[in-house]
Structure 1
Amino acid sequence: MKELTPRASNRQHSGQIRRLTSLLKKYQLAYAVQQALLDLSELASTLTDMAQFYPKIHSLVNQHLAADNFFVVLVDQPSGRFQVEYYADEMDSLDAGQLDPADFAKGMTGYVYRTGQPLLCDADKFRQLIAAGDIESQGTPSHHWLGVPLRRGHLVIGVMAVQLYEDGRLYEQHDVDLLTEIAMHTVTAIDRVKSRELLEQTVRERTRQLQNTNQSLQREIRERSNAEKLQAALYKISELTATEPDMTAFYRQVHQILSDLMPADNCYIALLDESGKSLSFPFFVDQYSPPATERPLRKGFTEYVLRVGEARLINKELSDLLVAQGEVIRLVQDNGGSPLPHATSWLGAPLLIEQQALGVIAVQSYHQDYIYGDNELNILRFVSQHIAVAIQRRLNTEQQKLHQEDLERKIFERTRELRQTNLFLRLQVEERKKAEEKLFHEANHDALTGLANRQMFMLQLKQKFALRNRESNLKFALLFIDLDRFKLINDTMGHHAGDAFLIEISKRLLLTVREHDLVARLGGDEFVVLLTQLQQEADAEDVADRIIEAVRQPMVLQGQSLYSGASIGIAHYDASYTNADGMLRDADAAMYQAKSLGRNRFVIFTESMRQQLLQELSLEQALHQAVNEQQFSVAYDPIICSEKHHTLGYAARMQWQHPQLGWQQDFCQQAAQAGVLAQIELQLLQQILELLSSQPQPAVICLPLCVQHLTHPVQFDRLQKMLAARPQVLHRLSLGFAEYELMKLNNTALSYLHNLKRLGVRLTLENFGADMMPLGLLTGYPFDFVRLEASFCRSLLRQTQKRQLLDLLITLAQNYKFRMIADGIDDHAVRELLVNAGCCYLQGQLVKQLQPSQQEESVFLQQLA
């Protein structure tokens, strides 16, 4: 064997050392990677907050390579926007405004994201990339920069980078490999931590909701307890009304009961005599005044309540206002000349029998330590009713007996409901501990009926759509069900009966379908049925017939037999449907078609229905465009005097110049459905105000408005601002509201009528006689005109009852100072009847022929004076 020379032996020895050194570095890198991944796995298993996760990652990376300057940037996939998740740098700061997250897209970070490859960049490489236009210089240049992509599968979702600023330190290839391994497992760790963080947030949010629910239940318990106390007091008053024959003793005991409910140290009852011109005081208790004696009517608080016919709470501010307006005159001295103390808070309610006031019950406070509120007002209002019944009982004993029985029944039912509610609340408190186990069921099922809810139904329907790529002959149908008469049952018998009704309907629906079909409640009285595994389309019609027959059968609730029906829309699956929402929409449209055809039937959705829906949508879009382009204008119909035929004003109506269809006159319903009717009316009002400002003729223009102007404060504010801009012409403008719409409003919305009146505008009650003819609207609100509905006027010739109603309205017009406008005057016979009856103004086709060509300028204002 040939011996090696010393030089060859040295070379061989050096080669072995290099191989051993390279192998040692590989083992060291493998150990470092293994240790880093173990630490990373421990972080992902223990942390639940991303704010703590990234500093731990930074600390882990810093243990294995120089990473004092470290940042992590993620990219939002839909928008491509760069988001800095963590940033630590010796030179630059995001908070100081030196860098913006969007700048990372232009630098080396964006380069790594675009290429999807690690980048080890020194100063020379940095200058080459800038010269090639691949990057732009951002922030303070580093001496050495290392960045690796963050991948989720094959998708790059961000970049992890470290950098060095001082000379003499460089990153090497094993640093690239180490950081690449850490980055690859960091994405998994990020997903795990974020998932755990989201789960904990969800649990905390559900816990907070349960706490809020518990607080609400406790508050309701307190309210129920107060209600029981009030009910007990009212029962005592009712019992007194039936058993106490001595009225003086009755008054004293009522006062004692009232004192248990509110401070009533100062209380009196005043009764009108038969002539209605004087007051007597059968009961009077006061801290400062002697018992009151009979006296004639004057302008006091008692007389004020008799005039308005409603209970009133009068504190110092309202008292001063009433005195300033002349509604009330406060006496300074009594009949003997002694000074009278003034109440700081006064509460009174009329004693009414069949809307006829017998007198007033009142309590008052002389000190600021107690001021009456709405709660006491409601109590006194109820007490006043029972006192009035007691006074009237000797005149009508039987009526008193019926009233007593009705009151006892209400108290019994109310007490039973309270007991049931209290039992339910106790069960709810006990079951709250099990709420977490039922979260999934509650999230996917209707709480009332136990059926699947909208979320579960849509999930099942979307799963059926997902099968269409695998099953070529997929057959299923969707039934959209709306119950008839549910609102009537709910309003007349209460929500408790309505809930019981829905539960019974849900049971019947389950009996009409197969086990693999799905029945769900979308909300209210709307149900849907998903019919799967159909053999033929006619099977869906058979199920619809069974549902209609099942719902039609009577049910007994609260001792009464109730009848309902079902309107069903059917949509069969076909390849034209691209998503579940479209199929549900078409079934809904077919259901509304069934309702319009008479209800209690089913309709199958067809292509013609889709075309009709598209036409309605096109008209709605045209209306929105017409509002933006202000294509609407005003047409005027004359209103003349019934005797001299002077033109007294004009009734305004809207018209629309449609680009294709021409002039359109009757489109209010479509505009209301499109939600633009109020906007159109404001545009017409602006035109009318401009016309009134430019035309000095003293004629009133009557413009009908929808009640949306009264029900939405923002809309009413727009109306007020438009009117306030032209105060000089408001006395020549009358705004009208339809009778049937006003009857649906609450007192708050109706109070806006008084606000309009204070602005100086006139008011018209439109379409009176078309529905209920509510006389309370005529006498309780400041209408200047009442327009009789056209069909009511035409029926006067053949219906005696309508003529008697006309005589009553004309008498009320004389007493309450409003004027009648008769619409629909198309022939001379109707006109002659209305003229003879004393109707002031006329409107209609015949009126246009009678309208004079010239008009004296002062006629209209003289007649309104």
Structure 2
Amino acid sequence: MIEKLLVLSAVDDCPLEPLATVEVVAEDSAQKYPQKKCLLPSINILLIENIPQSGEILYPHLAEIDYICYQVHTCPYSHLTPGVVAQAKPNLLVLIAQGDHVLKAVQTLQQRYPHLPLVVIDPSDRPDLATQILHSGAQDYLSFQELSPNLLARSFRHAIDRHQVEQQLLRQAQYDRLLVQITQHIHQSLDLATILEAAVKDVRELLGCDRVLVYRFLEDWRGIMDVEAVVPPWFSALGDVVGDSCFTERYIEAYKRGRIHVVNDLDTAPLVPCYRDLLAHYQVKANLVVPIVVEGRLWGLLICHQCAHPRDWQDSEIELIKQISTQLAIAILQAELYQKAQAEIQERKAIEAQLLYQARHDRLTHLPNRWFFEEQLRLTLSYAAEHPHYHYAVLCLDIDRFKTLNDSLGHGTGDLFLQAFAQRLTRCVSPQDVVARLGGDEFAVLLNDIEGIEHAQAIAHQLQDRLNHPFEIDHYTLYSTVSIGLVMGNPHYTSSEELLRDADMAMYHAKTKGHNRIDVFDPVMLQQVRDRLYLEVELRQAIERGDFVLHYQPIVKLRSQSLKGFEALLRWQKGDTLISPKVFIPVAEETGLIFELSRWVLHNACEQLQQWQQRYPKLQSVGFTMSINLSANQFSLPTLVAEIQQTLEHYHLAGHFLKIEITESTLMQHLDSAREILAELKAMGVRINIDDFGTGYSSLSYLRNLPLDGIKIDRSFISQMDRSQEDLEVVHTILVLARNLHLDCIAEGIENTTQLQLLRSLRCPFGQGYLFAPPLTTDKAEVYLQEHIL
């Protein structure tokens, strides 16, 4: 047992003198209230007197209570201040007052000191006032008439106990409200920083801590003070990174298992030196640490610091911090999931944007593609429809001879050239214009907001001039020209497809007229294209129906005018009309139908030759030949030699009865493979003639190096030789050249006797033309054959 005294301190002019532990009191008090033994903890009472010396009534009763010791501090009500209360550190407030002011005094004390229980002692007995006083927050109401030691002991103890229960309930309600508030905030917000900042601020204010922190672990188990609420004078730890290996080794594993770490007093707590030093660095006297575990993963710590003095952390406080930690873990998980979802959304948007970009742009040049260009055209059409005075134009550009560049230097160099071309083209136009790559070597430009056709043509000429400048590509200096088609926008256009169609048509027209041209669209072009398309349809149908026939033009020996052979010429029998090859052959070559037609010519010409040889055996002995023409497309076929050989074998014809005529341009286009192909044909006995000689390259090199049998002088020289000395000299030169190279020579297009006599005088061995006979039908050709050979 600890012997204690009833300690009295009566200070009339508060503040009180400090009374922490008092062993000796005033002599008169000791005589009045002798020393006693206390069985229960002492109760510290602040006696507030509204009636002078009224406390004297209480002291005798308190002194008679054997098992409780009391420390009593007195202060007049008029002198009571928060400082007095703080100095006294009471467990209980006792107010002695009477009259009408007692109720107001009770209300004032409850407002100022709600954390302390209050007992009111009224010298007068007023039951009517008792109810109001109790409703105002007092724990008990006593009158002087009923005072006794037991009553006071019971009243004071019950007041303190009830008040503690009420305070606990109040704190729990506050804790619950804080948890609800944090939970609602988590549900209403995805901003983790805002949630954490609000949580630490509310915890600090509710628990009265000096510093509350959210400590987040980094990848290497160092940690950063991520969020903080702190009150002066204690310094901020926000942003500090803790990387003490001792702390990490000793405490991380424990936190991973969900362990809560409580330090009530740094001076007495059993801590390892590194942790004690860490807390001392942050001026911590008491510490409460709760791990924040997110789906089994230690994310961080929720830390409460008491810096001013040690603190006994209550179970309810620890439980609150645990529950808040759980809620913060939910918020963190929610934020992480949201961030992950946002990242996935952003990634998906980036992918979608990339896919959209790829869908709209050319992969090689990164220019808008046809689809995107047509979208821009539609927007321009829509705007122009609402603004009649708005002018625009569309250019289609095609790089001349790009295929030759691509094939000769390789596709890698070709791609680099296209990229450089696209960059220069883009730099040549204004930012409001749209440049696109439509495909291959074809580009388009939308000229917006121009003044008219002259302005559009001037821009086209500027483009052409700048694009004609050399390009330095992959150690090559490359030159290019462009063919440009131009179409002006007008109200008649209702779709982007029409605009592009007409610009492309004008560009195609420019290419057919020669390279490096600019052609403006004319409606006649459209009609020509439509006629061409209609011709293609008819041509396909004619092939299916077999509407083609062969006519045969005699090739004669000019000296004797005896028949040497026939040239098989294809004709389209369209009803009663014969369509010239000049009309349909270009379409057949462009569409690929030429392969089927050429095959048909080869088979039918050989079949006819076989029939004539069978009827007229003399044809074999006189070396009668059949000449057919090979197109450039057919000459490029890898199966050409095999197909000719199979055809000859099928009709049992020797190779020397067949002559193949190839133009100079065809030969030069396939010069690399021509030597091998011609050699194989020669090995079969097939004879090779160069057709239209003099209009193309007329190279002595290929005449000397290729296995040729003859040349045919183009009709353009023959038709003028009787009127033009220059043409006569050309013919003479060709004939001399042929004789020197041991080549046969055939003059085409002989139409009069003057031309015949001149050719005879120049010793031209063979010729053909209307002077002898036009191309003849099979029946007429057979009659001609009978008349001139048999």
TM-score range, shorter chain: 0.3 to 0.5
Q: What TM-score do you get using the length of structure 1 for normalisation?
A: 0.42
Q: What TM-score do you get using the length of structure 2 for normalisation?
A: 0.45
Larger relative helix fraction: 1
